[in-house]
Every structure is written in C-alpha cells, then in structure tokens.
Amino acid sequence: MKFFVDTADVAAIRELHELGMVDGVTTNPSLILKSGRDIIEVTKEICSFVDGPVSAEVVALQADAMIAEGRRLAEIAPNIAVKLPLTWDGLKACKVLTGEGKMVNVTLCFSPNQALLAAKAGATFISPFIGRLDDINLDGMELIRDIRQIYDNYDFKTQILAASIRTVNHVTESAVAGADVMTAPPEVIRKLANHPLTDAGLAQFMKDWEKTGQKIL
C-alpha cells in the first residue's frame, strides 16, 4: 500500500520523505488555511521534492469553473492530481480533465455508488472518507471493502485512496481491505512505529546492558 501524507506542512513532509515514507501528498482548503501560505506557492514547493502525486483541490462548485481551476493547478507541476468533489459537476470536470491526461482525485466519497460513478468518469483516485463515516456510527472500512469488490469485479483502474484516517487501526484495516493508497496526517504515520511491547523490550535490554558495564563506542 502506498503512503500519502495529508498535510501542507512542508517541514513534516520533508521529514517523512527522507525516511521513504511519502509516496505522495494530499492537501485541501482546510490544510492550506492551516499552513498560512498561498496555495500555488506551497504546492509548488511540495512538488519540488515529492515525485509522487500531489493532490491540490479546486474550490469552484460549477463544472466549467472546476475545469478552469483544475487546469491552472495542473500547471504547477507534472505530478499534480487535481482534487474534485464527488458531485455531478465534479464528475463532469473529472471526465474532461482525465480526458486531457491529467490525474484526478475525486474526494468526499461516502458510498459505493459514488465510487462507481467516479471510476466510470475516469478518476485516477477515489477518496472514501473512513473517519467521517465512523463519526456518524457507520463502518468506514465496509465502504473500502465494497469499493474494492466492485472495482475488482469490473477491472476498474481507479485507485482506492483511503482518506480521513484518524488512527493506526484505520491504516491496518485499510491495508487488509485492499486499499491501494492511504493518506494520513504526519502524526498518525509516526505512531505506526509505536507498540508498548517494543518499549518494554527496549527498556529491559537497556537495563541488562547497563549491568554488563560494557560500551560499544
């Protein structure tokens, strides 16, 4: 499974990129706001060192305006994935932009039928929002499993990008369910390395090593 990092924080992206943990980046208007930077400027900087897809989201609501914004965003770098909402206008824009050879990430997906429409429109990525479904007592992982089954049934090439990931368990479950990609905040990716038994084992090793009175350097 590919790892995308869900942030516009360049320093955090660089840290994870240096460890080989970044296959791509996703941003959205809320993350751009949090960064306090111009969308074109920060997206261009991210693309300067991340080779994989970098999602940049349109803010228009009508198809023609979405297409125009998508074309402008795609000019930033060859690896831009234009992020479009899963609305009827978003699907229209997706069809046009993918027809022009641009990568498109269709976001805010909450049902298998929406995912089916996105694949039919030629989306490069579909972004089901796991956490937001969990918030209203629905099973976000069931959506990933259903989309996987549908896409496999008909050999759709659209990649499933598990989004709105809140916990390390979401990452594990997305991988088991067959998501092609997951996108998560930097802090969630860092937490994947944590386990209480690792901490306990290391503490015991250090305690025993101290008793030997030895040094390596």
Q: What is the pLDDT of residue 157?
A: 97
Alpha-carbon distances, residue 100 vs 67, 71, 95, 104 (angstroms): 11, 9, 9, 11
Q: How confident is the model at residue 63 (pLDDT cuts 50, 70, 90)?
A: very high
Over residues 73-98, mean pLDDT? 98
Positions marked active-site? 83
173 near 142, Cβ under 8 Å? no
DSSP calls for 90-134: HHHHHHHHHHTT-EEEEEEE-SHHHHHHHHHTT-SEEEEBHHHHH
Class at the top of the CATH hierarchy for domain 2-212:
alpha beta
pLDDT digits (tens, 9 = 90+) for 153-200: 999 999 999 999 999 999 999 999 999 999 999 999 999 999 999 999
Residue-wise pLDDT for 142-164, tens only, equals 999 999 999 999 999 999 999 99
Each residue's pLDDT tens digit, 98-150: 999 999 999 999 999 999 999 999 999 999 999 999 999 999 999 999 999 99
Residue for token pair 């022009």: 100
pLDDT band at 76 (very low <50, low <70, confident <90, very high): very high
Q: What value, to the nearest 5°, has the Cα angle with vertex 28 and ends 49 and 75?
A: 55
Parse the chain into domains and list their residue ranges: 2-212
